[in-house]
Structure 1
Amino acid sequence: MTVQTPRSEGGASRRHVLSAGLAAAGLTAFPMLARAQGNTLRIGVVSPRSGPLALFGEGDGFVLDQVRKQLAGGIEAGGKRYSVEFIAKDTQSNPVRAAAMAKELINSDKVDFVLSTSTPETVNPVADACEAAGVPALSTTSPWEAFYFGRGAKPGEPSPFKWTYHFCFGVGNFAKLYADQWSKVPTNKKVGMLLPADADGNAIRGMLIPALQKAGFTVVDAGPYQNGLTDFSAQIALFRKEGVEIFNTFPFPPDFAVFWRQAAQRGLAKQVKVVQMAKAGLFAAELEALGQLGNGLHAGAYWHRSFPFASPATGLTSTQLADAYEKASGKAWNQQIGATASLFDAALATLRSAADPKDRASLAQAMSRLKADTAVGPVDFTTGPVPNCATTGLVGVQWLRGKGGANKFGLEIVSNADHPKVPLTAAMKPYQLGA
């Protein structure tokens, strides 16, 4: 399904009526429409709002509403004032559709700028479509290595990308976070890794495993598996046999629920002391679906309501953003709303710093030198780690039942070595099945 926001100027029906009226008067609408469009910045927003990754896009509409309110009077950029029009598209969690939605934004909607968020399955095909068309694009919430190397860039070689930029955590952030977080409970330092055969899994397997081994962990890699697998008995048997006490995975959220229920049935859940999730385990709804099996699970967080940063695009602090989302939706806040807000923070900072925001080359140049304050912290494209990418920090978190009220799950910050400006909110505990 295509989700399209109301257009701030020149909607289709209004354009038709305007054209008809002018034609009747012996005039043409095109010069007037061209002038109107020349004063409007059209921004495409692509994210997964349905399908197996839908939890990532659940709050995107809310965040976009906050941004729209902030931009009601337009934006100053390049010495002019522009109105801003957002056109949002749903990928349905499908990479092929993500590319199609990007092409639709470029060819049919004639956007000036494309934003995308949430996993390589979204940002990579969108970025590829924009790169091919020469349209500036900015994205987040996917390890930067999956974005950069996963799209064909080679270590040590010049960037092959001119139009597409990305900011997010990377493998180095995970390595630093995990070394700190996993030291907070006693274990035998044997790590079972469950990584899918996709861009995330490939990047993590090639870079994180060596980093963990260098940090003194023994890694048991169960090998690539296909997303959507329903029987993890072989992987569970391997982890049990090897005696792993730390488990780490980067799956689609539905796949983790399947795995962890089987892990409980086959005794692995009683064996491990740290259950570290990434990509899955980011949303309270996932934990509530697991019930008692979810209590005490560990994860990394790229945003939290306790982050000491504000979102210029929404005009809200991190705490205010979380509270406003809960009031508007009736659901628990989640870390993606802060990340999505940060995407708009960086995008608006790009527009404001561009010499001409309607010029593609000017926008790309503005991204290459961007330094911006965002909801997830500072974003700085001038410091690498590679061209076209900037890094942001991670904190270690633990899901605890009852911390969100009644039987709801709440998220405590238990490790901040990778993001020291963020305060801890609790001490980390080992995972104990049934605790």
Structure 2
Amino acid sequence: MRSSLATVAHKEAGMRPDSSLCVGAVVPRTGRLARLGDPLSFVIDMLAPRLTEVRNTRRHPLRFATRDSRSDPVHAAQAVRELVEHDRADVVITMAGTKVLPAVAGACEALGVPCVSTTFPWQAYVYSRADDIDHRFDWTYHFAWGLDDIAAVFADIWERLDDTPAVGCLWNDDLQGRLLRHDRHGFAPAAARRGHTLTDPGGYREPAADFTPHIRHLRRHGATVVTSAATAADLALFHRQAREAGYLPRLITCSRWLTYPHIDPHDGPARGRHELADARVATLVYWTPSHPHRSSLDGSTADELAAAYQQGTGKPWLQPLGLAHALVEVAHHALTHADDPADRRAVARAIGRTRLDTIAGPLDWTSGPTPNIALIPLVGGQWHPTRDGHRLAVVTNSAAPDVPVTADVAPTS
């Protein structure tokens, strides 16, 4: 099947009737991830009317095409096929979904079309598609952070407490949990290098039904901090059951859905949000309106992008907004600097040599930890309750000192 997909792609590359170029986007417009696709949809709607051409050795008309992944890996792969066969996409961009994103990247690799993606740790991106952490993909590129970066940020947060806490792990039994536990490239060894001892009660299956055994284990081992990568619904269940059992961790750190303002794509925005309202969950932060970066397209600031999103949608800014904008920046840059923007292989090579200052920060594919990867730094954040809901405060900034700290770490109430 892979060879037939590639044949279709290469035939399509030779059927271009004009000099126009196309940026294709796979976006979860429907299904459980739909809310998480909003930033990329907004950015494309905002930028497409402004980015109508690419100036390379000559001018090429530029258009954007979007296909719905339906929040499902099978439909995501089909969306890539449609972008290649019907829209003649020269490069594909995507974000969101620990199973959907690898499906998009895998389809692009099989079809021979360049792809740029973002939003989850690079180790997960590689290991969800290959057995070797140093595997070199021909067509697909990713920018994000590593599990070791998350561990460093969380250690920064834990160390803001008065003592050195014993840290308990709440990790699932899927790929995510296995990678967090990985003895070389995972979260656990990076935390150990900072001098932290982790206690792991074992994985759980999502969605979780009962955390009682995990709570007993963490309590028995004196874990005063809990670190997790759970969905909001699962974390809310743990928080509720822990309180009912009289187990009150001083702090919870979570790297998954809690980077968003208490939105759980599995169960809608309501469930989990209210139960975690007083938990002061700490999380990773990769983009805020206060980040001191500008768009490579027009010089607009992070604060201006966030304001445009809030004005245009009536919704609070989301961290993926900056990454979504950077996806378009990278795609446009690659088409502009490719030896031949109508040659997909040339566009892929252009991505691989990209060094670009974006609204999400500097991206450099020439110096990543493995081939096909560019890194962005993380800072530490914590959700603080306010009169109007919740505010994501920056509480540590060791990896990015130019991002201002706006609050101290506050123990769970």
TM-score range, shorter-chain basis? 0.7 to 0.9
Amino acid at match of 2:196: F
Contact 1:42 1:85 in 2 (8 A): yes
Partner of residue 132, structure 1: 110
User: Equivalent of 1:87, from 40, 43, 65?
Assistant: 65
Shift of residue 337, structure 1, vs aligned partner: 0.9
Q: SS at the partner of 2:290? A: coil
Q: SS at the partner of 2:223? A: coil
Contact 1:49 1:58 in 2 (8 A): yes
Q: Give the Cα separation in 1 of the matches to 2:283 and 2:292.
A: 20
Gap change, CA 1:421 and 1:200, over 3 Å in 2 = farther
Amino acid at match of 1:174: I
User: Equivalent of 2:277, from 294, 301, 305?
Assistant: 294
Gap change, CA 1:386 and 1:243, over 3 Å in 2 = same
Shift of residue 392, structure 1, vs aligned partner: 0.6
Contact 1:311 1:345 in 2 (8 A): yes
Partner of residue 375, structure 2: 391
Q: Give the Cα separation in 1 of the matches to 2:31 and 2:240.
A: 21
- Kindly report which structure 2 residues correspond to 1:104-123, keeping only aligned pairs within 5 A, or say none: 104-123=82-101
Contact 1:66 1:314 in 2 (8 A): no
User: Equivalent of 1:284, from 255, 261, 286?
Assistant: 261
Amino acid at match of 1:64: I
Q: SS at the partner of 1:306? A: coil
Amino acid at match of 1:172: D
Shift of residue 50, structure 1, vs aligned partner: 3.4
Gap change, CA 1:305 and 1:264, over 3 Å in 2 = farther
TM-score, with normalisation over the residues of structure 2? 0.88
Deviations 1:123-164 (A, max 9, x none): 211111111111111111111111113211414x5x341111
Partner of residue 324, structure 2: 340
Which structure would you say has the larger Rg? 1
User: Equivalent of 1:210, from 189, 206, 222?
Assistant: 189
Amino acid at match of 2:170: L
TM-score, with normalisation over the residues of structure 1? 0.84
Amino acid at match of 2:92: V
Q: Give the Cα separation in 2 of the matches to 1:305 and 1:374.
A: 14
Contact 1:53 1:252 in 2 (8 A): no
Deviations 1:63-118 (A, max 9, x none): 1122113314x2212x1222222222232332232222222322333311111112
Q: SS at the partner of 2:380? A: strand
Q: Give the Cα separation in 2 of the matches to 1:150 and 1:194.
A: 21
Partner of residue 10, structure 2: none
- Kindly report which structure 2 residues correspond to 1:278-427, keeping only aligned pairs within 5 A, or say none: 278-286=255-263, 289=270, 290-291=273-274, 293-295=276-278, 296-313=280-297, 316-402=300-386, 406-427=387-408
Q: Give the Cα separation in 1 of the matches to 2:232 and 2:83.
A: 28
User: Equivalent of 1:241, from 193, 211, 220?
Assistant: 220
More helix by share: 1
Amino acid at match of 1:281: L
Gap change, CA 1:393 and 1:365, over 3 Å in 2 = same
* Unaligned runs of at least 5 residues, structure 2: 1-14
Q: SS at the partner of 2:49? A: helix
Say what the alpha-carbon RMSD is for the aligned residues: 2.1
Q: Give the Cα separation in 2 of the matches to 1:223 and 1:93.
A: 28
Partner of residue 174, structure 2: 198
Q: Give the Cα separation in 2 of the matches to 1:126 and 1:380.
A: 22
Partner of residue 30, structure 1: none
Q: Give the Cα separation in 1 of the matches to 2:298 and 2:177.
A: 33
Which of 99-108 and 346-355 deviates more? 99-108
Contact 2:122 2:145 in 1 (8 A): yes
Shift of residue 418, structure 1, vs aligned partner: 1.8
Gap change, CA 1:218 and 1:312, over 3 Å in 2 = same
Provide the identity percentage.
Answer: 34
Q: Give the Cα separation in 2 of the matches to 1:256 and 1:50.
A: 24
Shift of residue 292, structure 1, vs aligned partner: 6.5
Partner of residue 7, structure 1: none
Deviations 1:265-290 (A, max 9, x none): 3333x2x1221111221222439843
Shift of residue 357, structure 1, vs aligned partner: 1.2
Contact 1:63 1:314 in 2 (8 A): no
Amino acid at match of 1:396: G
Q: Give the Cα separation in 2 of the matches to 1:392 and 1:312.
A: 16
Gap change, CA 1:267 and 1:47, over 3 Å in 2 = farther
Contact 2:124 2:179 in 1 (8 A): yes
Partner of residue 26, structure 1: none
User: Equivalent of 2:18, from 22, 32, 38?
Assistant: 38
Deviations 1:357-401 (A, max 9, x none): 110110111011100111221000010211111111111011111
Deviations 1:177-210 (A, max 9, x none): 1221211112442111122233333222211111
Contact 2:25 2:92 in 1 (8 A): yes
Q: Give the Cα separation in 1 of the matches to 2:38 and 2:192.
A: 36
Partner of residue 430, structure 1: 411
Gap change, CA 1:91 and 1:353, over 3 Å in 2 = same
Q: Give the Cα separation in 2 of the matches to 1:153 and 1:358.
A: 32
Contact 2:236 2:275 in 1 (8 A): no
Gap change, CA 1:256 and 1:51, over 3 Å in 2 = farther
Amino acid at match of 1:416: N
Partner of residue 3, structure 1: none
- Kindly tell me the number of residue pairs found equivalent between the two proteins: 389
Partner of residue 250, structure 2: 273
Contact 1:350 1:366 in 2 (8 A): yes
Shift of residue 55, structure 1, vs aligned partner: 3.2
Q: Give the Cα separation in 1 of the matches to 2:86 and 2:173.
A: 34
Amino acid at match of 2:151: A
1:50 correspondence with 2:30? yes
Q: Give the Cα separation in 2 of the matches to 1:69 and 1:89.
A: 18
